[in-house]
Amino acid sequence: MIATPVLTDQQVADFDRDGYVAVPGAFRGADADAAMRWTTEVQQMPEEVGKHWVFHEQSRIDGAPLINRIEYIAPFHAGFRELTEALKAPCAQLFGEEVVLFKEKINFKMPGGGGFEPHQDSQAGWDVYASNFITVALCIDAASEENGCLELAPGQHRRGLLRGMEPLTPEDTAGMTFRKHPTQPGDMVLFDAYTPHRSEPNNSARIRRMYFATYNRASEGDHFAPYHADKRRNFPPDIEREPGKEYVYKV
Ligand SMILES: O=C(O)CCC(=O)C(=O)O
Ligand SMILES: [Fe+2]
């Protein structure tokens, strides 16, 4: 079994102050290796209607198709199911109550893959399901300034939703400082759904895979099934898309 990370009192206090906390070495040795192995397994699973959701992007270098993101993984992979269980405890520490899984995905950010404009995750319409969420970003491959590590703005999380379903503007982010957080395999960063964050495109030759598991308070209900049903209607995986129809990724 993969070991469950436990946050220190200082890490809990840092999260309350900043809206996020970086936890180096949350998974070590065989556990960090397992997360990497499972990620490669998921990457190699055949893309089929009704299974995990694979999304592609075009390389910024040569236009070649790249895997951009795989979502809805745990129902189809025992290792990730175990991981989603192990990640509940630190989120429960931060919320001060039990949590339920809302969604999870791997962002691949291959060489030539795009970055993310500044946003709060709740801008994606999550606020209809629950009042707040905690996402665990688990580093699979080393993430650096060169391949687009996470950048987060501390101390903004009590300001509510700053904008609707579009990236934050320069006016919105004026006065914010985005701190770069390079990570090593097994490190995690936990952030709430109001903490602005961004990341650069991958202009390097090194892949940057990162796993994101998002939880809400158990007292606010289990929204896993309705969220995925809604998303499948509005933004289905590439293999389930109707030809000729346009699907727009917002935030
Ligand atoms: O993968 C990243 O660098 C950030 C991803 C992100 O913020 C998101 O998918 O909402
Ligand atoms: Fe995000």
Cβ of 197 less than 6 Å from ligand 1: yes
Residue 248 lies in a domain: no
Cβ of 210 less than 6 Å from ligand 1: yes
Paired strand residues for 190: 21, 136
Cβ of 121 less than 6 Å from ligand 1: yes
Residue 114 lies in a domain: yes
Tell how far the Cα of 119 is from the centroid of ligand 2, in angstroms.
6
| CATH code for position 41 | 2.60.120.620
Residue 119 lies in a domain: yes
Residues near ion ligand 2 (CB < 5 Å) are 121
pLDDT in tens, the chain (251 residues): 999 999 999 999 999 999 999 999 999 999 999 999 999 999 999 999 999 999 999 999 999 999 999 999 999 999 999 999 999 999 999 999 999 999 999 999 999 999 999 999 999 999 999 999 999 999 999 999 999 999 999 999 999 999 999 999 999 999 999 999 999 999 999 999 999 999 999 999 999 999 999 999 999 999 999 999 999 999 999 999 999 999 999 88
Ligand that lies nearest to the alpha carbon of residue 181, given by its number in the listed order: 1
Residue 87 lies in a domain: yes
Taking the complete model, does pTM exceed 0.75, yes or no?
A: yes
- What's the number of domains the chain is made of? 1
Residue 217 lies in a domain: yes
Residue 60 lies in a domain: yes
Residue-number span of the structural domain to which 152 is assigned: 9-235
**What is the number of the ligand 1 atom nearest to the C-alpha of 69?**
9
Letter string b/e over residues 34-60, b meaning 16 or more CB atoms within 10 A of that residue's CB = bbbebbeebeeeeeeeeebbbbebeee
